[in-house]
């Protein structure tokens, strides 16, 4: 006996639902499906718009690091590029009046050489540094633009 043919013993024949049957396309079913789809899409949009940013992606204000202030004795010429944001400032040290700390800021001059420079004062030219023990011609050439004698 096939399921689609009515039998004499079955009180009601069973029908197979197909795509055009009214039970499948019921208007209430379509409304509920539309509401469910709308809630899902709006939830996804809300999550995309207001989700928290990861900590690595958030912008943080720049940290300001304090640097020691040194007295400016002479400024270099302004940079050739007007858009340059950094201006180089050279500190010129007077050999006859500089403190030990100021002399130690010079390249190649440590505490012992700074003390030797102070002990060898007064100087009339930068070339007079050759009489200081441990300072040779190469060191004098490196210091020539960084020191003055007044």
CATH number at residue 104: 1.10.150.320
Q: In this structure, is residue 65 part of a structural domain?
A: no
How many structural domains does the chain have?
Answer: 2
Instruction: Find out whether 95 and 117 touch, Cβ atoms under 8 Å.
Output: yes
104-121: average pLDDT: 91
Q: Closest Cα partner for 112 from 144, 145, 135?
A: 135
Helix (H, G, I), strand (E, B) or coil at 67: coil
Instruction: Find out whether 127 and 105 touch, Cβ atoms under 8 Å.
Output: no
**Which domain covers residue 128, as residue numbers?**
93-148
Task: Name, in order, each residue with C-beta under 8 angstroms of 23's C-beta and a sequence gap of 6 or more.
Answer: 17
Stated pTM of the model = 0.42
Instruction: Find out whether 102 and 93 touch, Cβ atoms under 8 Å.
Output: yes
Q: In this structure, is residue 39 part of a structural domain?
A: yes
Q: In this structure, is residue 49 part of a structural domain?
A: yes
Q: In this structure, is residue 129 part of a structural domain?
A: yes
Q: Look up residue 31 and give its two tokens.
A: 């409304």
CA dist., res. 86 & res. 76, Å (int): 12
Q: In this structure, is residue 11 part of a structural domain?
A: no
Query: pLDDT band at residue 71, thresholds of 50, 70 and 90?
Result: low
Instruction: Flag whether pLDDT at 64 surpasses 70.
Output: no
7-28: average pLDDT: 62
């Amino acid at each position: 006996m096939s399921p689609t043919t009515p039998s004499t013993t079955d009180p009601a024949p069973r029908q197979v639902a197909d795509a055009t049957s009214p039970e499948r396309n019921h208007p209430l079913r379509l409304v509920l499906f539309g509401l469910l789809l709308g809630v899902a899409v709006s939830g996804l949009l809300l999550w995309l718009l207001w989700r928290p940013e990861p900590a690595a992606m958030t912008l943080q204000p720049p940290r300001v690091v304090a640097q020691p202030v040194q007295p400016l004795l002479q400024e270099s010429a302004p940079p050739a590029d007007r858009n340059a944001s950094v201006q180089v400032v050279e500190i010129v040290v007077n050999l006859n009046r500089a403190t030990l700390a100021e002399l130690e800021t010079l390249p190649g001059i440590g505490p012992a050489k700074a003390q030797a420079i102070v002990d060898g004062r007064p100087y009339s030219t930068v070339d007079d540094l050759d009489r200081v023990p441990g300072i040779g011609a190469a060191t004098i050439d490196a210091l020539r633009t960084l020191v003055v004698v007044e």
